[in-house]
């Protein structure tokens, strides 16, 4: 089975809770459709008896819902939305603090290019349908800067006009959490796609899982990689565009502009989906030499990228 990067959430279970499932005859699985991570979600769990699949599906949905209540910009009552609205979040909790720690690590490794404080810039582009004027950009840039975000165990505090977005790393973080939950429930092998893709154990054939890579979420796979006990995150500068213009959604906090036209597709492979997600987001803003320097700070990381000129980068 090859899983491509699609606009749905999928869990393909190959083996859970030991050999007793090999004797089951009602492996029909379970399915749920709704809204998750700000988009239509199709959550499927196959290869299991229906009752077991429904139980695990409910657990996965519960974990996604819990983490959306922390990191979603699409929910007015999420912790992140409250932080952006008021400038302060009291008692942020372990998940928020862990995500902020990962952000700081990648921010430093990318020389500041990975920066969730670009939300004012993102909002300026969105309001102007991709063409904000210089005054709007100057105001938004003045409010950005991860180094201005005060993070402590007791609270997170923003300066006036500042706001955060975790869209460049939260999907990977949630993917890791769902994998951890399912492993605790007995998952021995499977594919988990919650925005990014994690491969657990071996595929039913005993080989690594085949993962399709595409420039856009709804495109057919342009390349295939094989993973086991690792995750892959793919970024494309034009995966989302502002309005009808050509400005992509990944913004440079230094210039206030969209990512330069260097990469068509950039995929990072790491044992952590959150780390892969953040590194792929940062990499879109870097040239090949800068990207290599950043990646080499994280041993065990692999890369499959395609440049705008058609040249492949494999690390």
CB of 37 within 8 A of CB of 171?
yes
Q: Which residues, in sequence order, are CB contacts of 261 under 8 Å at separation 6+?
A: 237, 308
pLDDT computed for residue 244 by the predictor: 54
Q: pLDDT digit of tens for each residue in the chain (315 aa)? A: 333 343 445 555 544 433 333 333 345 567 777 776 666 666 666 667 788 878 888 888 899 999 999 999 989 999 999 999 999 999 999 999 999 999 999 999 999 999 999 999 988 888 887 778 899 889 999 999 999 999 999 999 999 999 999 989 999 999 999 889 988 887 777 788 877 888 888 887 888 888 887 655 555 666 788 999 999 999 887 655 555 555 567 888 888 888 777 888 899 999 999 999 999 999 999 999 999 999 999 999 999 988 888 787 788
Q: How far apart are the first and last CA of the chain?
A: 25
Place of tokens 């004797």: 23
Backbone angle region of 190, left / alpha / beta, with phi > 0 → left and psi within -120 to 50 → alpha: left
pLDDT computed for residue 16 by the predictor: 42
Structure tokens at 284: 């879109």
Beta strands, E only, the chain: 2-4, 10-16, 30-36, 39-46, 88-90, 150-151, 155-157, 187-194, 196-200, 209-213, 223-227, 230-235, 263-270, 302-307, 312-314
pLDDT computed for residue 42 by the predictor: 61
DSSP 8-state secondary structure symbol assigned to residue 208: P
pLDDT in tens, 90-143: 999 999 999 999 999 999 999 999 999 999 998 888 888 777 889 988 999 999
Rg (CA), the chain: 20
Q: Which CATH superfamily is domain 79-157 in?
A: ApbE-like superfamily (1.10.3980.10)
Q: Which residues, in sequence order, are CB contacts of 139 under 8 Å at separation 6+?
A: 120, 124, 161
pLDDT computed for residue 294 by the predictor: 95
CB of 267 within 8 A of CB of 304?
yes
pLDDT computed for residue 2 by the predictor: 39
Q: What is the b/e burial string over 286-311, where b = at least 16 CB atoms within 10 angstroms of the residue's CB? A: bebebbeebbeebeebbbbbbbeeee
CB of 196 within 8 A of CB of 276?
yes
Beta bridge partners of 282: none
């Amino acid at each position: 089975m090859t899983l491509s990067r699609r606009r749905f959430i999928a869990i393909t279970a190959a083996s859970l809770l030991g050999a007793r499932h090999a004797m089951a005859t009602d492996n029909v699985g379970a399915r749920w459709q709704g809204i998750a991570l700000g988009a239509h979600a199709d959550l499927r769990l196959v290869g299991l008896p229906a009752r077991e699949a429904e139980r695990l599906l409910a657990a996965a949905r519960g974990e996604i819902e819990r983490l959306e209540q922390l990191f979603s910009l699409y929910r007015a009552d999420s912790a992140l939305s409250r932080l952006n609205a008021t400038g302060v979040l009291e008692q942020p909790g372990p998940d928020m603090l862990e995500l902020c720690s990962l952000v700081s690590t990648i921010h430093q490794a990318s020389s500041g290019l990975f920066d969730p404080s670009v939300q004012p810039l993102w909002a300026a582009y969105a309001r102007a349908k991709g063409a904000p004027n210089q005054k709007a950009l100057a105001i938004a840039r003045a409010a950005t800067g991860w180094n201005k975000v005060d993070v402590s165990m007791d609270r997170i505090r923003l300066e006036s006009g500042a706001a955060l977005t975790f869209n460049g790393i939260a999907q990977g973080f949630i993917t890791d959490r769902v994998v951890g939950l399912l492993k605790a429930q007995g998952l021995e092998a499977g594919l988990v796609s919650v925005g990014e893709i994690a491969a657990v154990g071996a595929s039913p054939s005993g080989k690594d899982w085949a993962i399709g890579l595409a420039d856009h979420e709804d495109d057919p796979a342009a390349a295939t990689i094989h993973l086991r006990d690792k995750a892959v995150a793919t970024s494309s500068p034009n995966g989302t565009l502002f309005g009808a213009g050509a400005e992509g959604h990944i913004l440079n906090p230094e210039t206030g502009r969209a990512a330069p036209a260097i990469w068509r597709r950039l995929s990072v492979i790491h044992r952590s989906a959150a780390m892969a997600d953040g590194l792929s987001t940062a990499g879109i803003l870097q040239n090949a030499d800068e990207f290599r320097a950043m990646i080499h700070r994280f041993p065990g990381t692999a890369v499959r990228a395609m440049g705008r000129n058609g040249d492949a980068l494999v690390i």
